[in-house]
A and B are shown apart, each in its own frame.
Chain A
Amino acid sequence: MRREVPLVICFLLGALFIADYFISNPTFDRIAQTINQWAIIVISFAYVLGVANIARINTGVIKRREKDWVFKLVLLFGLLLMVILGIGWGIREGTVFYWVYMNAYYPMQATMFALLAFFIASAAFRAFRIRSWEAGLLAITAIAVMIGRVPVGEAVWKNFPNFTEWIMDAPQMAAKRAIMIGAALGAISTGLKVLTGLERTYLGGD
């Protein structure tokens, strides 16, 4: 019962939404859209589990005075600060909540993104050590595309940009399509396995 009833719920809802794709009836569409909205509501309740998980793990580290416990205090402080500011003073532009988000989170996010420039350089350095024909193809194509998209490419060979476009339009597009077709078949197969109960790991044991 503890697993069978959820499996039936999963199957029925999945079948409903697959049917919704093929049915063009306004009432049926409205029902499906309403149930879709309900999913968003369930997600918002699930956020409490995430916050509780953060609180449990980090307070445990603080209590046991494990390594870097002081920084866990900073984490919990940040969490509580945003909750208090949001509930107390609102979230509109110009509020302290908004300013903390824009000046604490946003710079970090942008900087992490910027770090990618360094990491892509270190990854390229390793990738361009050609140890096999596959690695060679990858390296040569990457270099060709990089050169082809800057003015120096056209200066070296006037058809370099066209060659780069061809790489994007032919082999790259072909590989993309093949990967997407294969992945889509795998995704549909996994979805059908979940709906029919063949895959039930997400429900756990008895």
Chain B
Amino acid sequence: MTLVEMIWTSSAALLTLFTFSYLYKDNPFYKFAEHLVVGVSAGYFAIILYYGSFVPKVIDTIFKQGWWYYSIPAALGILMWTRFSKKFSWISRFSLAFYMGIAVGVSIPLTLQNYVLKHLVETTRPINFTSLNGIWQFLVVVFVFSTLTYFFFSREHKGAFGVSAKLGIGVLMIAFGAGFGLTVMGRVSLLAERVLFLKDYLVELKYFLYMLFKYGILL
């Protein structure tokens, strides 16, 4: 590892430790790491958007490819900047409405297809009480039905309806417990990865310092 690489890796290790210090309590080291990373990421995204979006999709399309109609979204984008003026900020609504219309229009049919119809099809499977799969399938239908009754807003959860809703809550709690249990191992493995990084860094640092002292460069 070169001196420059060692400096960069040391900064990474230091920021890792600063972030871990958050577990103790809020402290100046954590505050430093937090503010640095917020600033760096904001600057990072500004540049990525500039090179990844603004230059190829605005500058190149309008001035190099001659697609002048791309000045329409550029104009809409500039209209967003009227928000800096109290008097003219209402003009930015055109750009807001433009984006909202597209976002909502794209999502409505896709949501219906992927989250309603698809799940309806997947849930309706043959039921029979002679095989284990058939019984599970029956239970799945019952569970979906009862959980949907929980989300009913038009009726109080009373009587038979209430019983179904209570079963729905039970199913929800089982699902949340399963989701929680499933995630625990994944999160612990992320911690293990960071601890291994610090361990590898310390080994590299030890070797680096040993080599420097051996050849007298540090002195």
Closest CB in chain B relative to A111 CB, distance in Å = 4
Contact between chains at B104 and A194 (CB < 8 Å): yes
Decide: A45 and B175 in contact? CB cutoff 8 A: no
- SS class, residues of chain A in contact with chain B: helix
Q: How far is the CB of B22 from chain A (nearest CB, A)?
A: 7
Q: Does B129 contact A (CB under 8 A)?
A: no
Please tell me the number of chain A residues within 8 Å of chain B, measured between CB atoms.
Answer: 121
Q: Is the CB of A175 within 8 A of B174?
A: yes
- Secondary structure at chain B's binding surface: helix, strand, loop or mixed? helix
Task: State whether A86 touches B80 (Cβ < 8 A).
Answer: no
In the complex, the chain A residue whose C-beta lies closest to that of B57 is A41
Contact B20 A140 (CB under 8 A): no
Chain B's interface size range is 35 or more
8 A Cβ contacts from A148-206 to B: 149-150, 166-185, 187-188, 191-192, 194-195, 202-204
Contacts of B93 in A (CB 8 A): 2-3, 6, 203-204
Q: Which residue of A lies closest to B9 (CB)?
A: A103
Are A178 and B47 also in contact (CB < 8 A) when A44-B53, A104-B40 are? no
In the complex, how many angstroms separate the beta carbon of B96 from the nearest chain A beta carbon?
A: 6
Interfacial chain A residues near B181, Cβ < 8 Å: 141-146, 149
Q: Which single member of A46, A82, A97 contacts B80 (CB below 8 Å)?
A: A46
CA distance A119 to B60 in the complex (A): 47
- Given A6-B97, A146-B184, A175-B175, verify A181-B109 contact (CB < 8 Å): no
Whether the pair B39, A77 counts as a contact (CB closer than 8 A) is yes
CB-based contact B136/A166 at 8 Å: yes
Cα–Cα, bound, A116→B188 (Å)? 8
* CA A116 to CA B22, docked complex, whole Å: 12
Most buried by A among B111, B177, B180: B177
Sorted nearest first, the 8 A-B pairs with minimum C-beta distance are: A78-B39, A45-B77, A82-B43, A141-B177, A17-B105, A13-B101, A145-B181, A86-B47
